[in-house]
Amino acid sequence: MLGKKMESALNEQINKEMYSAYLYMSMSADSTNKGLKGFANWFMVQYHEEMLHAMKMFEYVERQGGKVQLKAIAEPPQTFESAMDMFQKTLKHEQFVTQCINDLLNLAVTEKDHASQAFLHWYVTEQIEEEENDNDIIAQLKMIGADTAGLFMLDKDMAARMLTVPSDFSKGVEAAMKAMGK
Ligand SMILES: [Fe+2]
Ligand SMILES: [Fe+2]
């Protein structure tokens, strides 16, 4: 059974994951607008990853007998200066999310909520991967600098990113993860 404090904090985090999805959708749209179709693909895959983060938490709140409460999603920025600008903002946002996950875990410890602690460890691991991916791409963008041919090549690589997580949660997230062998 979820305590009220934990329930409300998890509902806030669902909103932040939804905002993340929205932010990456916006970056995908702006990438398309800039002729960077590979980046558009990368961000659309990231959008699905964020929907998984949100829906996994949604399901957890329900399974623990809590009530999901959806809040308004803030408007993301619509345009970005460059691919580098997008990834610097992505990294900054992910660092913020990592802090939010750490705060949630700290709350679960204070509340002696062991189930939520176990649940949140998945997100801790996930955030390591998220920041690592962003740092890798920023390093590549730094090497490329103003070289448009380099950016063209990286865009081709970004086009290869495939969705490796489920995107249909109508039968539940856990069921969808199991069906994909996760
Ligand atoms: Fe996330
Ligand atoms: Fe993320």
* Token duo for residue 142: 């730094």
Query: What pLDDT sits at residue 99?
Result: 98
Please give the angle made by the CA atoms of 35, 38 and 44, to the nearest 5 degrees: 105
The pLDDT value recorded for residue 182 is 85
Cα–Cα distance list, 15 to 2, 11, 12, 58, 120 (Å): 18, 7, 5, 10, 16
In the reported structure, the alpha carbon of residue 91 is separated from the centroid of ligand 2 by a whole-number distance in angstroms of: 9
Element (H, E) at 86: helix 83-110
Question: ∠ CA(86), CA(15), CA(26), 5° rounding?
Answer: 30
The contacts of residue 71 (CB under 8 Å, 6+ apart) are 11, 12, 15
Cα 49 to middle of ligand 2, angstroms: 7
Kindly report the pTM of this predicted structure.
0.96
CA of 67 to the centre of ligand 2 (A): 24
Q: What is the pLDDT of residue 1?
A: 85
- The enclosing H or E element of 79 equals none
Measure 1 CA to ligand 2 centroid, in angstroms: 27
Determine the distance separating the centroid of ligand 1 and the alpha carbon of 155, expressed in angstroms: 23
Q: Which two tokens stand for residue 18?
A: 């939804």
Cα atoms in the Cβ-side hemisphere of radius 13 Å centred on 2: 24
Residues of the chain with pLDDT under 70: none
- With residues binned 3-state (H G I as helix, E B as strand, rest as coil), the percentages for the chain, rounded to 5, are 75, 0, 25
Ligand 1 centroid distance, CA of 157 (Å)? 23
